């Protein structure tokens, strides 16, 4: 446990930021899993909307510093391939 006042504050700030990052990361993973589940089921009606949502979450993750831009680009590419297979 830190003794210095500024170090105590940093512990609080980091804990708060960690929770926020976990929240965003969880939402991102959920969006990707929903898209993959719809693709697996072959649900063409909602797959495009879920793809757009997943891509949006990936882009937000990059802008918030949660994901590296190349990681997001790779995941978006993988999702686009899945979308192309389902749409035909």
Distance CA 34, CA 13 (A): 32
pTM given for the model: 0.85
pLDDT digit string, tens, across residues 16-39: 999 999 999 999 999 999 999 999
Sign of CA dihedral 72, 65, 11, 22: negative
* Residue 4 token pair: 């210095």
pLDDT digits (tens, 9 = 90+) for 41-81: 988 889 999 999 999 999 999 999 999 999 999 999 999 99
Domains of the chain: 5-87 (1.20.58.110)
3-state secondary structure 16-61: HHHHHHHHHHHHHHHHHHHHHHHHHHCCHHHHHHHHHHHHHHHHHH
- The rounded distance, in Å, linking the Cα atoms of 68 and 58 is 10
């Amino acid at each position: 446990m830190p003794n210095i006042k500024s170090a105590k504050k940093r512990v609080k700030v980091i804990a708060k930021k960690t929770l926020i990052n976990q929240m965003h990361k969880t939402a991102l993973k959920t969006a990707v899993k929903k898209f993959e589940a719809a693709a697996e089921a072959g649900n063409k009606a909602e797959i495009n909307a879920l793809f757009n949502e997943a891509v949006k979450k990936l882009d937000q993750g990059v802008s918030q510093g949660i994901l590296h831009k190349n990681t997001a680009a790779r995941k978006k590419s993988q999702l686009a391939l899945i979308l192309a297979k389902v749409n035909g």
